Amino acid sequence: MQLDRLVAFHKTIGDPTRIRIIALLAAKPWNGTALAGKLGLTAPTITHHLKKLREINVVYERREKNTIYFYLNKSVISQQAEALVKLSLLEKGEQSLDMNRNNEEAAKIIENFIGSDGRLKNIPAQRKKKLIIFRHIIKGLKEGIKYEEKELNEYIKRFFDDYATIRREFIINHFMYRENNIYELNPEEMWAK
């Protein structure tokens, strides 16, 4: 199902009066005058809303003698609901593909900037690459543990000699929180993206 048709459908039924009309028609067919009386609206208002619902094929009409009855096209509503579910499943699939691509990209960046000895060759200039490297370095720290500055410096020195720059980046990018020279990991949701 085309996305524009799905959007048009939901825009059209996204009106309180139209939803009330759909709810009434779900139980039985109604004529325009009866709908107007039941909803407390004028006949032209009901005609306008029914025209909009006919445009998206949710309502169809049948003439019986001099009276036109409106029916709910339940199959169209079912199709639209299924299309929405399929779209959400497709979106989830694309998100997992994006995650796999991101993981592959991160692995390549780590491979390029971290030597075989596990040390950082140099700090990347691009922010995106820099954040991937910092995430890699910070993995060895544990959440909920308070680290003294000296202890954190020693940890960072295993990766890079300029520990002050890395430590500062941890704070700037919200990987860690500092108070009175005591450092603690922030929850991952707070980390810069």
Residue 73 has pLDDT above 60, yes or no: yes
What pLDDT does residue 83 have? 77
Residue (of 109, 115, 112, 150) closest to 132 by Cα position: 109
Which of left, alpha, beta for 75 (phi over 0: left; psi -120 to 50: alpha)?
Answer: alpha
pLDDT confidence of residue 1: 40
> Angle at which helices 32-39 and 43-55 pack, to 10 degrees?
110
Give yes or no for residue 85 having a pLDDT over 90: no
For residue 99, pLDDT beyond 70: no
Higher pLDDT, 192 or 149: 149
Euclidean distance between CA atoms 166 and 163, whole angstroms: 5
> Taking the domain 1-113, which CATH number applies?
1.10.10.10
**114-190 architecture in CATH?**
Orthogonal Bundle (1.10)
**Tell me: the pLDDT tens digits for 2-59?**
667 778 888 888 899 999 999 999 999 999 999 999 999 999 999 999 999 999 889 9
CATH 1.10.10.10 occupies which residues in the chain?
Answer: 1-113
